[in-house]
Amino acid sequence: MSLEKLRALMRTYTPGRRVRIKDEAAAARRDKVPDGVTEGLILKVIPLPSTSASDIPGFDSFGVEVEIETSPGLFDSLIVSTDDVEFGPLSLDQLRRDLWRRIVNFPRSSGIGIDFPPGAADDGVIDDVRFRSDALGRPTDLVASVRVPVDPDKNPEGIDVFCTDADFIQCVLRARKSSD
């Protein structure tokens, strides 16, 4: 899959976006989705294994990992096909409420386009989100402003925090931990 196709998929199924799990999909996953839980947040887009009989393994469809609150303060996630979720209106204010102070992980592969300083952690905290605009002013990718802690003992300049903007191809939204 080309990077442009992946970006288009990520724009449609934006991590942090609220979705409603269709009734049939929720009913089929009662082991994970309690009665009354109808919505959650997209954590990431997942390629689903091919169902074709071809000898070449591949992906012919995509799913989303959806974080659900199974009861107050308790979270779980499940993977459902993109056909099994419905979107509500896309609201930047709702995205900001849902993503503020959430943790993201940076996989640190060589092509994510962020120059991390020495001693930077692998996780960061979202301070804000906004849509990047294309040349015509149309919103494109969701961009998170992220604060990444830096170990000042490992940084020659002694900095203790690094701030950057990242889209969800560069970082992964982490699932919330359940409160104890």
Residue count (the chain): 180
CA–CA distance, 67 with 43 (Å, rounded to integer): 6
Residue pair 18/98 in contact by the 8 Å Cβ criterion: yes
User: What are the b/e assignments for 47-56, b being 16+ CB within 10 Å?
Assistant: eeeeeeeeee
Which three-class secondary structure state does DSSP give residue 99?
helix
Cβ neighbours, 10 Å, residue 130? 15
Q: What share of the chain is helix, strand, coil (3-state, %, to 5)?
A: 15, 40, 45
CA–CA distance, 34 with 138 (Å, rounded to integer): 39
pTM, two decimals, is: 0.84
Q: Looking at residue 148, what DSSP letter applies?
A: E
When pLDDT is cut at 50, 70 and 90, the band that residue 7 belongs to is confident
For the stretch 125-153, pLDDT in tens is 999 999 988 889 888 889 999 999 999 99
pLDDT over 70 at 111, yes or no: no
CA–CA distance, 122 with 163 (Å, rounded to integer): 13
Least Cα distance to 102 among 131, 62, 144, 72 occurs for 144
Q: What is the pLDDT of residue 138?
A: 85
For the stretch 42-70, pLDDT in tens is 999 988 886 655 545 555 688 999 999 99
Positive or negative torsion for Cα 44, 47, 48, 49: negative
Best-predicted range by mean pLDDT among 35-39, 46-50, 51-55, 99-103? 99-103
